[in-house]
Structure formats: C-alpha cells, structure tokens
Amino acid sequence: MVARYELIADELREEILSGAYPVGSQLPSEAELAGRFRAARGTVRQAVAVLVAEGLVGSRQGARRIVLGAARSQSFAELHSFAQWARAGGYRFGGQVIEQRRRRASAAESARLGGGEVLEVLRVRTLEDEPVLVERTVYAGWVASVVERLPADCESVTEALYDTIGLVFAYGEHLIDAVSAGVHDARLLGVRRGSPLLRQRRTTTTHEGRPVETSDDRYRAGSVAFSIRNSIGANPLVRQAIDLRSRG
C-alpha cells in the first residue's frame, strides 16, 4: 500500500529532477497542487513536507515554496550498509573478514549493547578493487551466533541478517571525525602510517530500540565523503566538541 502523498511527492520530485522546476524557481501553490492532484490540502502539504525533508525544497510562511537543489538523496539502508550503498551507486565492491572473536563486553559496550558476551569482527571492504574501509564491528550477544556462521567474504551482513532471522536495522546514531592511520589500519588500507582517515562510529538498533551492533569504520581519505542538506528548523547534523583535555 503506497500512500497518496508519497505518489504526489514522487511525481513532484521527478519534475524537479527533470528540470521542469529549475533550481531557484517557485513551486505551484498548495491550492494549485490540490486541484491538480484532486487531493485535500493536508495531503499535498504532507507530500511537499517530504521534499522539504529531503532538502529539495525550501518553505517559509507567506512565500511560495522554492526549489533548492536537484540531487537524489539516499535511503537509510544505503547509509547503514556498505554493500547496499555501493550496489545502488553501481560500484564494484567486496569485503573480507580479517579477524573475528568472542569476548566479554567492555564497560562502554555494555552501556550501548546491553552487556554479556559480544562478537568483535574486523573487516576490510573494497570499492573498485581498492581497499577503502576498515570496519571494526561489535555485535550484541544475541546476534553473535548468526554473524559467526556467515562466510568470511559475505557481501552484506545487513542483508544476511534480514534473510536469516528477519532482523531489520531501523535506527542509527553516527559520530564522524578524522583520525590518523595506525600501523595496522595503514597496512590493511595500503596507505602510510599517519595518513588521514575519515572515521564513522555508529550504533544501530532494531525497530524496538534494541541495540544490535556498534562499529568503528575508517575510510581512506579521498575515497568517501558524507553529505548533508539542512535548513532552519530541520537540523539533523550536530557538531560536537571533543574534550580538549583528555584527547583520544
């Protein structure tokens, strides 16, 4: 079942991406759109809200909505899963488990994952046959045995978890910064020790808010960037200071 407002949003999005409404131009008024789609005003408002959330359209009281940009944004799955992202972008990609072991959760991991035993996995991912990402993922105890049984060159753990036990990743929290490559990272990525890496630390949970994994992902500089659109009133991205006294 696809909602009416989604269909309207899709149609408007296509028109924006195709250039029917160029960047900087005005969108039709809500009344006009309601007439065109034979829908209530509330429904077209919901449709336009989707485009505003995507950063495609800007909105302010009293003035016509304007087109801000014309780039497609990606789904949660594509941010969460390297494989799904790479596939959607049409890249050649791969991955390999380097090391894997069960151990007791540290204090910090217990707070995030719920304690007990955890499974730590070290993977290297390639894009266009070059290693670009070192992934250190810690899985909660309740998924450990499933992850352990996956092949070492499993393309997508996310998809495998869904296929085997119906697990869906639904919410994520991400912390992004830069670090320099240690000896180990440098060797795995084929860069010099001390090279800049883009680090993404994340924790992911299910629909019910149950934590599944926490990960420390390090990208070789120059391979991947993160992109965000934001506006007054909708600000997903947040800057954080790192404690300047006790640097890690």
Partner DNA sequence: GAGTGGTCTAGACCACAAA
Partner DNA sequence: TTGTGGTCTAGACCACTCG
Binders of DNA among 183-212, rule CB under 7 A?
Answer: 208
Query: Is there binding between residue 177 and a second copy (CB under 8 A)?
Result: yes
Query: Is there binding between residue 190 and a second copy (CB under 8 A)?
Result: no
Which two structure tokens, joined as six digits, stand for 176?
């992004």
224: phi then psi, degrees, rounded to nearest 5: -145, 145
Please name the residue that has the structure tokens 């495609």.
56
Query: Is there binding between residue 226 and a second copy (CB under 8 A)?
Result: yes
Interacting span for a second copy (CB under 8 A) from 27-35, 99-107, 115-123, 166-174: 166-174
Query: Is there binding between residue 235 and DNA (CB under 7 A)?
Result: no
23, 31, 152, 165: residue in contact with a second copy (rule CB under 8 A): 23
14, 128, 153, 163: residue in contact with a second copy (rule CB under 8 A): 128
Angle of helix 157-165 relative to helix 141-148, nearest 10 degrees, comes to 100
The identity of residue 93, as a single letter, is F
Task: State which residue, 43 or 215, has the beta carbon closest to DNA.
Answer: 43
Q: Of a second copy, DNA, none, which one does residue 21 interact with (CB within 5 to 8 Å by kind)?
A: none
The torsion region of residue 190 among left (phi > 0), alpha (psi -120 to 50) and beta comes to left
> What letter would DSSP give residue 203?
E
For residues 124 and 130, is the Cβ–Cβ distance under 8 A?
Answer: no
C-alpha neighbours within 13 Å on the C-beta side of residue 236: 11
Q: Of DNA, a second copy, none, which one does residue 182 interact with (CB within 5 to 8 Å by kind)?
A: none
Q: Which residues bind DNA (CB under 7 A)?
A: 1, 3-6, 27, 29-32, 38-43, 45-46, 59-65, 208
